[in-house]
Chains A and B, each alone.
Chain A
């Protein structure tokens, strides 16, 4: 499998008095970091692509099919949240297996795939653990294992490593990089951490006040020619 391109065309959405307008596109198999101040619309952007929100108008195309009105399960998308990615009463194996069968009906091949995914994210032997017995980083690894068995062309990461320490965050970024190298899915990651973005992303989207204010190659964003708005944002973040 490989990634799919994403196009948002004149997507309009409003909630609780906030207006959002998104118009941008992402090439297949890119890794894009979505940055911007709190409340600017990063999460809303991901929710629209995942289908947790439905736009009032506009088109969201993934691999050239308009998915704007489809329910979340029918979109070629997996999403990892900041927390609550796992059901606390189900063991690691079942949590991952839900990505293959939402009623946990598995054949031998499915089971093998699930075990392989758990091994791939570095949790071999922890199949029977319950989420409360895992560290924060391990729980997010389980969520990534489920992404592997679901095998969808688009992966959305909504600040998935925000509650982890710097060393763990770097490990997780490297894991996402490795998984991307194997599967080639299109990755959109909302983050507050410029170093995560710089390390992982090939392209950048900067969101401000409910719209994309700047976009371009990551190298440009973190170099001399960074867009002004993004520089201001980084400055304020670093000072704060």
Chain B
């Protein structure tokens, strides 16, 4: 009995240890550096740092406001115009940005609004000046809103769909008009969801790295994460990086604590199940307005996506696919992403099963520290963003002289841990409900260990595990965080190669690579979504 007990909790303990080691190593690197060069770290508290910190907050606040308010309008229009012919398409399309890597979206925005973008000529004619391209704050905002407005709209639509059907019936019976309906019925539902949605988006924008790296420019449009990257890769100023990292940690920790107070979930819902509840079909002037809002939202979200495809097809895709460096990057990306996904799923499953075993063992007593850690441990990743982990290890490994050799391990480890909150969310409900059904029977028949995993746990877990795997793989494939720090001639992933081609002004190549990367991640996300639906 003791053996079977530890068999179920030992992997969880090891998984926690692995996550802890990854984070502790990063912190150790930072603390060591701070101790070695205390004056340098203190000197980094200068005007530049405050400007960067202020810009980080400012762009995140603007992005949040610009995502949330239109998100509310679109969600309301979706809820009140159930008869709109393109409604299902819009709801589906609004799920797509989340499946696209940030670097692909950044390129899409540039392909549309950049100096040589599709709209450049029109904008030149309109403004009278030669269009300078959408860099800096406005570019960052467009990309952030592209990601987060649809997310907000879907989350608010879910909140609106949760309004009791009887309230909608009352609205119809009492003849409550659209303005009163918003005030009396819809706004309360939205207000309840608002803090959580706003916090989630604010956090995503504060820790947004790739978008700011590509669309931001110069010291006037740099966030903390990009400044950390620049301090390490270009200025080689570890003392400054330590200070920046410290500020970033304080900031994210403050947001996570505030979100926990508000009861907001920061791991987000990758695929919100937006039911097509028998909705309202507004008429007359309101219908006109709703249709207008929906069309505007549709154009805004479809624009960059179309631009990615159009610009990508203009590239010489066959030549690109034949290039050795591209083939190498694709192979490296796939190997690293598969490894990251395997680790992510194993770590998550270990924590989920240890948590459940501990829960069963304690009965009605309060959960202990170990169980709480298995439950919440993955959330630590939210406080310590990938760039921070990468920066810590970068500084630590610098002393060993083999920073770039560590690239594959760092990418796999950080991406695996980064995907854990999502993977656990996919696995845990299925595991717990299967456990509730099978636990006593398995105990009675004495099915343990490997046999239990194979016979009892595997069949109901196959699909959720596959969902988690596909999701983690897509996340890792598209990630340009750790690899931006650790990448080199020897280890190049697809996003890293993309960044290099952009840096060398090979715009067509970059667009072609973006299309490949986007299509790959999109396909994986669709598989994950499809598996999770079949599962439900």
- The answer on a CB contact under 8 Å between A71 and B174 is no
- The answer on a CB contact under 8 Å between A79 and B188 is no
A168 within 8 A of B: no
Contact for A102 among B166, B167, B169, B176, CB less than 8 A: B176
Stretch at the interface among B177-185, B211-219, B314-322, B338-346: B177-185
- The answer on a CB contact under 8 Å between A87 and B169 is no
Determine the chain A residues whose CB is within 8 A of the CB of B401 once the complex forms: none
Contact for A72 among B172, B177, B179, B184, CB less than 8 A: B172
- The answer on a CB contact under 8 Å between B166 and A83 is yes
A84 within 8 A of B: yes
- The answer on a CB contact under 8 Å between A81 and B166 is yes
How distant is A49 from chain B, measured CB to nearest CB, in Å? 12
B126 within 8 A of A: no
Contact for B173 among A78, A90, A103, CB less than 8 A: A78
- The answer on a CB contact under 8 Å between B185 and A102 is no
Scoring B residues 150 to 189 as 1 if CB is less than 8 Å from chain A, else 0, what string do you get? 0000000000000011110110111111011000110010
* B181 nearest in chain A by CB position: A102
Take A87-B184, A87-B185 as given contacts and tell me if A99 and B166 are in contact as well, using a CB distance cutoff of 8 Å: no
| A199 CA / B144 CA spacing, docked (Å) | 64
- The answer on a CB contact under 8 Å between A87 and B167 is yes
- The answer on a CB contact under 8 Å between A98 and B176 is yes
- The answer on a CB contact under 8 Å between A72 and B169 is yes
Take A102-B174, A103-B180 as given contacts and tell me if A89 and B188 are in contact as well, using a CB distance cutoff of 8 Å: yes
- The answer on a CB contact under 8 Å between B166 and A73 is no
How distant is A73 from chain B, measured CB to nearest CB, in Å? 3
Determine the chain A residues whose CB is within 8 A of the CB of B176 once the complex forms: 98, 102-103
How distant is B173 from chain A, measured CB to nearest CB, in Å? 4
How distant is A14 from chain B, measured CB to nearest CB, in Å? 15
Task: List residues of A (49-103) whose CB comes within 8 Å of B's CBs.
Answer: 50-52, 71-74, 77-79, 81, 83-85, 87-90, 98-99, 102-103
Determine the chain A residues whose CB is within 8 A of the CB of B166 once the complex forms: 81, 83-85
How distant is A114 from chain B, measured CB to nearest CB, in Å? 14
Take A83-B166, A84-B167, A87-B184 as given contacts and tell me if A77 and B173 are in contact as well, using a CB distance cutoff of 8 Å: yes
Determine the chain A residues whose CB is within 8 A of the CB of B185 once the complex forms: 87
Determine the chain B residues whose CB is within 8 A of the CB of A74 once the complex forms: 175
Determine the chain A residues whose CB is within 8 A of the CB of B164 once the complex forms: 84
- The answer on a CB contact under 8 Å between B167 and A71 is no
Determine the chain B residues whose CB is within 8 A of the CB of A83 once the complex forms: 166
Interface centre among B165, B167, B173, B185 (most CB of A within 10 A): B173
A134 within 8 A of B: no
Task: List residues of B (350-373) whose CB comes within 8 Å of A's CBs.
Answer: none
Determine the chain B residues whose CB is within 8 A of the CB of A104 once the complex forms: 180, 184
* A73 nearest in chain B by CB position: B175
| A50 CA / B175 CA spacing, docked (Å) | 13
Determine the chain B residues whose CB is within 8 A of the CB of A51 once the complex forms: 172-173
Interface centre among A51, A74, A78, A102 (most CB of B within 10 A): A102
How distant is B439 from chain A, measured CB to nearest CB, in Å? 33
* B175 nearest in chain A by CB position: A73
Determine the chain A residues whose CB is within 8 A of the CB of B169 once the complex forms: 50, 52, 72, 79, 81
We find that the number of chain A residues with CB closer than 8 angstroms to chain B is 24
How distant is B177 from chain A, measured CB to nearest CB, in Å? 7
Determine the chain B residues whose CB is within 8 A of the CB of A72 once the complex forms: 169, 172-173
How distant is A120 from chain B, measured CB to nearest CB, in Å? 19
Q: Is the interface of B mostly helix, strand, loop or mixed?
A: helix
- The answer on a CB contact under 8 Å between A98 and B188 is no
- The answer on a CB contact under 8 Å between B175 and A102 is yes
Contact for B170 among A77, A85, A89, A103, CB less than 8 A: A85
* A103 nearest in chain B by CB position: B180
- The answer on a CB contact under 8 Å between B184 and A79 is no
Take A72-B169, A84-B164 as given contacts and tell me if A103 and B179 are in contact as well, using a CB distance cutoff of 8 Å: yes
* B174 nearest in chain A by CB position: A102
| A79 CA / B164 CA spacing, docked (Å) | 16
| A87 CA / B169 CA spacing, docked (Å) | 12
How distant is A97 from chain B, measured CB to nearest CB, in Å? 10
- The answer on a CB contact under 8 Å between B172 and A102 is no
| A200 CA / B455 CA spacing, docked (Å) | 60
| A51 CA / B168 CA spacing, docked (Å) | 13
Determine the chain A residues whose CB is within 8 A of the CB of B174 once the complex forms: 73, 98-99, 102, 150
Determine the chain A residues whose CB is within 8 A of the CB of B167 once the complex forms: 84, 87
- The answer on a CB contact under 8 Å between A90 and B184 is yes
How distant is A87 from chain B, measured CB to nearest CB, in Å? 6
* A47 nearest in chain B by CB position: B169
Determine the chain A residues whose CB is within 8 A of the CB of B180 once the complex forms: 102-104
| A78 CA / B169 CA spacing, docked (Å) | 11
- The answer on a CB contact under 8 Å between B179 and A73 is no
- The answer on a CB contact under 8 Å between B173 and A73 is yes
Interface centre among A72, A74, A78, A83 (most CB of B within 10 A): A72
Determine the chain B residues whose CB is within 8 A of the CB of A84 once the complex forms: 164-167
| A102 CA / B175 CA spacing, docked (Å) | 6
* A87 nearest in chain B by CB position: B184
How distant is B195 from chain A, measured CB to nearest CB, in Å? 16
Determine the chain A residues whose CB is within 8 A of the CB of B177 once the complex forms: 102-103
How distant is A148 from chain B, measured CB to nearest CB, in Å? 14
How distant is B167 from chain A, measured CB to nearest CB, in Å? 6
- The answer on a CB contact under 8 Å between B188 and A87 is yes
Scoring B residues 232 to 264 as 1 if CB is less than 8 Å from chain A, else 0, what string do you get? 000000000000000000000000000000000
- The answer on a CB contact under 8 Å between B172 and A52 is yes
| A119 CA / B177 CA spacing, docked (Å) | 28
| A74 CA / B175 CA spacing, docked (Å) | 8
Determine the chain A residues whose CB is within 8 A of the CB of B184 once the complex forms: 87, 90, 98, 104
- The answer on a CB contact under 8 Å between B188 and A50 is no
| A53 CA / B377 CA spacing, docked (Å) | 50
| A51 CA / B173 CA spacing, docked (Å) | 8
Task: List residues of A (99-115) whose CB comes within 8 Å of B's CBs.
Answer: 99, 102-104
Determine the chain B residues whose CB is within 8 A of the CB of A78 once the complex forms: 173
| A84 CA / B170 CA spacing, docked (Å) | 9
| A90 CA / B167 CA spacing, docked (Å) | 13
* B188 nearest in chain A by CB position: A89
Determine the chain B residues whose CB is within 8 A of the CB of A99 once the complex forms: 174
| A83 CA / B165 CA spacing, docked (Å) | 11
* Chain B residues in the interface with A (C-beta under 8 A): 164-167, 169-170, 172-177, 179-180, 184-185, 188
Lowest 10 A-B CB distances belong to which pairs? A73-B175, A84-B166, A102-B176, A72-B172, A84-B164, A103-B180, A72-B173, A89-B188, A102-B174, A81-B166
- A–B pairs, 26, beta carbons within 8 Å: A50-B173, A51-B172, A51-B173, A52-B169, A52-B172, A72-B169, A72-B172, A73-B175, A78-B173, A84-B164, A84-B165, A84-B167, A85-B170, A87-B167, A87-B170, A90-B184, A98-B174, A99-B174, A102-B174, A102-B175, A102-B177, A102-B180, A103-B176, A103-B177, A104-B184, A150-B174
Q: List 13 extra interface pairs beyond A52-B172, A98-B176, CB under 8 A.
A: A50-B169, A71-B172, A73-B172, A73-B175, A84-B165, A84-B167, A88-B188, A98-B184, A102-B174, A102-B176, A102-B180, A103-B179, A104-B180
